[in-house]
Structure 1
Amino acid sequence: MSYNRDNVTWQSANGTWNIGFWRFEYTGDGTDEDFDAEWDVEYSHDGFWFLSTGHATPEAAMDAYCQEEPNPGMTLLIPQDDPQAADDIARYEALAADFKAKHGSSAYCLNA
């Protein structure tokens, strides 16, 4: 089953592409018949639950996710040559480093 999930794809200084899907919590009662696991979520933009780094293209980064979970919806694409994005890229790089420090450099997909 596919679920729309908020994420960001950014380019590192070395030219490779990375993708991170924001941590989230369900906001509804999973036993309620009106609960929707796709949309009854609240995102936390202080960390990722899925991270994949070092891809040649943004499409390859997205494909890494789609091997695990189909059709995540849109992504926010941030190239390194966007002068307005330097602070955001630095933040994403720090979040990626934190993810790897907590889960190991081979961490690929974690519900954390």
Structure 2
Amino acid sequence: MVHVSNTILAIFNCITLLIVGATISAISLFRLIGLCCRVNFALTLYLILLFLLLLCLVGFMAFAILVANESIGKSFSKTKIMDFHNWLRDNLGDEKHWNDIIKSFGIQTKI
């Protein structure tokens, strides 16, 4: 049995995965239409949209790694990478609010 907690982070992760899955399914319809009906425009649109989706997901993963890892800025100090950890903390509101959310998530998932 898989235990799904009802924390804000778990709900956010589920919604994000649903959106990505629905997007991939919608893009795949262009491929199906293009192959079944021999519509070259639909196949071209499929390739372009899939490439853009791939770029967006890679960009999001790179941003998430930069934000989550505090020591990444130290290893790239010569290239003057901005400290995303402080930027995220300053721009996304009260630190105590997020600490409470993360703490409750850790307690519910028994981390």
Greater helix percent: which structure?
2
TM-score category (smaller protein): under 0.3
Larger relative CO (CA 8 A, sep 6+): 1 or 2? Answer: 1
TM-score, normalization by structure 2: 0.25
TM-score, normalization by structure 1: 0.24
